[in-house]
Amino acid sequence: MLRSLSIRDFVIVDRMELEFSSGFTVLTGETGAGKSILIDALALVLGERAEAIAVRSGAERADISAEFDTAGHRQAGHWLAENDLSGDEDVCLMRRVVEASGRSRGFVNGRPVTLAQLRELGEFLVDIHGQHQHQSLLRTAAQRELLDAYGGLAQSAAKVRERYRAWQKRQEDRIAFETNAAAFAAEREQLEWQVRELEALHLADGEWIELAAEHARLAHAASLIEAAQAGTEALSEAENSCIAQLNGVINRLNALIEHDGRLREILDVLEPAQIQLQEALYSLRRYGERLELDPQRLREIEHRLDTIHSAARKYRIPPEDLSARLAAAKARLSDLGEGGDAESLRRLEEEAHAACTAEAKMLSAARRKAAAKLAREVTQAMQTLAMAGGRFEVALAELPEVTAHGLENVEFLVASHKGMATHPLGKVASGGELSRLSLAIQTVTSRVAQVPTLIFDEVDAGIGGRVAEIVGKMLKRLGQTYQVMCITHLPQVAASADQQWQVSKTTANGKVVSRLTVLDEEQRLEEIARMLGGVKITETTRKHAAEMLKSRDQ
């Protein structure tokens, strides 16, 4: 949900900090006070086109920031992660800066992004109803997704996409084979030859390193034997060997320790050295005993190393990579050998196509049921929203071939009034009608819709009385599931809200600026009375306003 909105130097707003709550919030105020400017500012953050006139007169730039709580919103979280734009946990910061020249920059969690990225992320977070510029329900893809979500068909649609990708892969394999059959045959022949040659080496993992180490030992065996013998002699076999001299020193000091106890500290150092020298002597003797001159083994290793090295030079890789090269050749040969002829590949393609089509047919049958139910429920909701006799339809246009989305295009159609022909939702002429239709659809599909924040602008155009009261109650019910905001001139709608904000204009330093006030209960009563009674507010209008506020929770 939207947590906060910060606006600087935007149109007639000089400085505004807004904190948002869950539930249903209305924005009211005199005509021209700037209610829609707040929605325009948010739309700018969400990627709408920017113009220089958005910058307040005399300012260098307009700066708008929005903070969203993305807790539990997997789509937005995945999008941020995939685009390497994640910030603090469960928080998303979106910002738009518009220069007086008209140039603009966008940011997500402090990192620069493109306008397209702002729009893409914004569609996960906010839906502004009643304005064609930012309305997800006008996109046929969103309509299809909403129908699938409403019918509980998201998993089935995902299976169709998966089967479609598998079919496309089989088709690409077959076309590539037919186009490059000669090249594939040559490649297969070369790989088979490489596999035979590399397998003939019988090269074990790590063999090259082990052979190199053994070769180094055998090649320097004479020097190693001589060094071991010299070390043994110096430690214990020579007349003045190290160990003999150290033993003499220790024995002499031990004989004198009774005369000076300080010699104990020296002996504590010498005695471990005596033990270590003795251990070194034993190890050196064992090492020397294992060393031997073996010219035959040396020649065998040198021949083996030369064979391996020659193969490595041929393939222009390090000797230790020959095993990996063999594995890669076998894997590629397996890829080429799977259905290694056009007929086999064509059969695999046909099987994948049949599986995709079968899954899509099951999805189509389920979509028809969901479409009929959705159309019936939205049409029923329309009757209470000043569109009596109107109807809503979900058109499923059959496609000649299966696609990643199934066997049909999904499109929402509507006839606003009795006797009218249905038209695509996006071609509804009246912004108020479009907003009320969106309200009806959102209310019906509220249990499955994904966007957490819904904003309704012009929802009260052309209605009043009982219909306005119904709209207010519908918005309030919607606010139990979503964060809902609505700009309204109708007291019936305003009285239904959980929170009410008043937007007004004032003059500061000779310039008109917009101000926003969060109303308490007493202020709400006065504002709704104003909406009911106009310029002159009487006790009767205040009493009527109080009754409307009292009935909001009933």
- Each domain of the chain, given as residue ranges in start order, spans 2-134+433-519, 202-334
DSSP E strands, 116-268: 126-129
Q: Output the pLDDT for position 208.
A: 78
Integer Rg of the chain from CA: 41
Taking 80 as the threshold, does the pLDDT of residue 455 lie above it? Answer: yes
Taking 70 as the threshold, does the pLDDT of residue 432 lie above it? Answer: no
> What's the one-letter identity of residue 329?
A
3-state secondary structure 75-104: HHHHHHHHCCCCCCCCEEEEEEEEECCCCE
Q: Output the pLDDT for position 319.
A: 85
- Average pLDDT estimate for 14-38: 83
On whether the pTM is more than 0.85, the answer is no
Contact 1, 127 (CB under 8 A): no
Counting other chains too, the contacts that 167-173 makes at CB distance below 8 Å and 24 or more residues apart are 167/349, 167/352, 167/353, 167/355, 167/356, 169/352, 170/345, 170/348, 170/349, 170/351, 170/352, 170/353, 171/349, 171/352, 171/353, 173/339, 173/345, 173/348, 173/349
Over residues 384-413, the pLDDT tens digits come to: 887 889 899 999 999 999 999 999 999 999
Q: Output the pLDDT for position 112.
A: 94
Taking 50 as the threshold, does the pLDDT of residue 425 lie above it? Answer: yes
Q: Output the pLDDT for position 360.
A: 96
pLDDT higher for 280 or 450?
280
Q: Output the pLDDT for position 111.
A: 93
* pLDDT band at residue 216 under the 50/70/90 scheme: confident
CATH for the stretch 2-134+433-519: 3.40.50.300
Percent of the chain with pLDDT over 70: 89
Helix or strand (DSSP H, E) at 391: strand 391-403
DSSP, res 374: H
- Average pLDDT estimate for 90-102: 91
Residue 397, strand partner residues: 409
Q: Output the pLDDT for position 222.
A: 58
Q: How many residues does the chain have?
A: 554
- Average pLDDT estimate for 473-477: 87
Tokens linked to 60: 């260098």
- Average pLDDT estimate for 498-518: 81
Provide the CA 272 distance to its chain's centre, in angstroms.
Answer: 63
Those residues whose C-beta lies under 8 Å from the C-beta of residue 137, and which sit 6 or more positions away, are: 127, 129, 143, 146, 412, 425, 438, 441
Q: Output the pLDDT for position 133.
A: 43
Over residues 274-322, the pLDDT tens digits come to: 888 888 888 887 877 666 666 677 677 778 888 888 888 888 888 888 8
pLDDT higher for 239 or 161?
161
Q: Output the pLDDT for position 197.
A: 87
Backbone CA torsion sign across 116, 118, 121, 123: negative
- CA-nearest of 515, 471, 485, 498 to 553 is 498
Q: Output the pLDDT for position 460.
A: 67
Instruction: Quote the Cα angle for 537-542-545, to 5°.
Output: 120
Locate tokens 């007086």: which residue? Answer: 100
Rounded CA gap, 178 and 398, in Å?
Answer: 31
- Average pLDDT estimate for 517-524: 89
> Angle 221-232/207-219 helices, nearest 10 degrees?
60
* pLDDT band at residue 49 under the 50/70/90 scheme: confident
Over residues 135-160, the pLDDT tens digits come to: 667 788 889 988 998 999 989 999 99
Cα–Cα distances (Å) from 207 to 41, 298, 303, 321, in that order, read 68, 15, 14, 11
Q: Output the pLDDT for position 132.
A: 47
Q: In what order do the strands lie in the sheet with 104-108?
A: 13-19, 2-10, 61-69, 91-99, 104-108, 111-113
Taking 70 as the threshold, does the pLDDT of residue 134 lie above it? Answer: no
Averaging pLDDT over each range in 171-185, 342-356, 427-441, which range is the top one?
342-356
Q: Output the pLDDT for position 367.
A: 96
Rounded CA gap, 41 and 52, in Å?
Answer: 13
Locate tokens 């109803």: which residue? Answer: 129
Those residues whose C-beta lies under 8 Å from the C-beta of residue 408, and which sit 6 or more positions away, are: 364, 367, 396, 397, 398, 399
Largest CA distance in the chain: 126
pLDDT higher for 337 or 349?
349
Q: Output the pLDDT for position 401.
A: 95
Span of 359-368, 434-443, 520-529 with lowest mean pLDDT = 434-443
Q: Output the pLDDT for position 323.
A: 84
- Average pLDDT estimate for 182-197: 82
For the chain, give the mean pLDDT.
Answer: 84
